[in-house]
Structures are given as C-alpha cells and as structure tokens.
C-alpha cells in the first residue's frame, strides 16, 4: 500500500504536515497538505503545502527562497498526520525565525526565546 493510500485526509481533504529539521530535530512548523500537494512533494522532494487562508497551493520558499528539501517522510499510527524530516534553507517562519515555535510561556507570559535570522 502506498503512502497516499494510507493517508486519512479530513473532511476538507487536508492532512496535518509537521516539518522537522533533519539535523537538529527541531520542530519547524505545522501546515496542511491536500492530495495534490502531497503528491507533488513526494515527486519533487520539495515541500508543497495547501494554504488554508489563501485557498491555494503553496510551495515553501517559492518567493522567499527559504526552501525545504525532504529527507524522510513518516506517517502516524492513525494515518491522519505526516512528519517530514527536512533540510531547511533560511527561515521556516514567515516572521523570519528558523522555527515557527519561537515563543514559550513563562510565568504567565509569552516570551520570545529565539533570535530572528539575519
């Protein structure tokens, strides 16, 4: 059975896709894929997502140059989430942080704990 056959897309035809840095194992971002963007990602090795806000295909780094190259693909036990170990060029976050997870809650406050990329 192929990966595409194992994936359980939700009612909107989407599946959660986690991008994790292959070198550091740092979680970089969570986005969504539909069948077409997952197929394209698997064929090209470049991360391609489905933008829920723009309702269109979104190839990571297409305009910013901050591309993500796939090294490994994992599927969770339920088939409703994917984990991609990737090589990240530049920032994964649109706010120019390496990871979208740059804030932590400390003493009831959200604090920025990482530096923006230059």
Show Cβ contacts of residue 27 under 8 Å, excluding neighbours closer than 6 positions: 18, 19, 20, 21, 99, 101
Order of strands, sheet of 68-75, starting from the edge strand that comes earlier in the sequence = 27-33, 15-21, 81-88, 68-75
**Two tokens at 8?**
């359980």
- pLDDT of res. 118: 80
Per-residue pLDDT of the chain (118 residues; tens, 9 = 90+): 788 889 999 999 999 999 999 999 999 999 999 999 999 999 999 999 999 999 999 999 999 999 999 999 999 999 999 999 999 999 999 999 999 999 999 999 999 999 999 8
- pLDDT of res. 28: 98
Alpha-carbon distance of 61 to 24, in angstroms, equals 20
| Domain boundary assignment for the chain | 3-112
- pLDDT of res. 23: 97
Whether domain 3-112 has CATH 3.10.20.810: the reply is yes
pTM, entire model: 0.94
- pLDDT of res. 4: 82
Short-list 90, 50, 51, 53, CA closest to 68? 90
């Amino acid at each position: 059975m192929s990966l595409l056959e194992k994936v359980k897309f939700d009612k909107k035809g989407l599946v959660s896709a986690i991008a994790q840095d292959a070198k550091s194992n740092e979680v970089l971002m969570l986005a969504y894929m539909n069948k077409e963007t997952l197929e394209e990602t698997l064929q090209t090795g470049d991360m391609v997502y489905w933008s829920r806000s723009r309702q269109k295909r979104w190839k990571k780094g297409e305009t910013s140059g901050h591309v993500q190259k796939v090294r490994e693909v994992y599927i969770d036990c339920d088939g409703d989430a994917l984990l991609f170990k990737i090589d990240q060029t530049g920032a994964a976050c649109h706010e120019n942080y390496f990871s979208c997870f740059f804030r932590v809650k400390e003493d009831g406050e959200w604090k920025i704990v990482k530096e923006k990329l230059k």
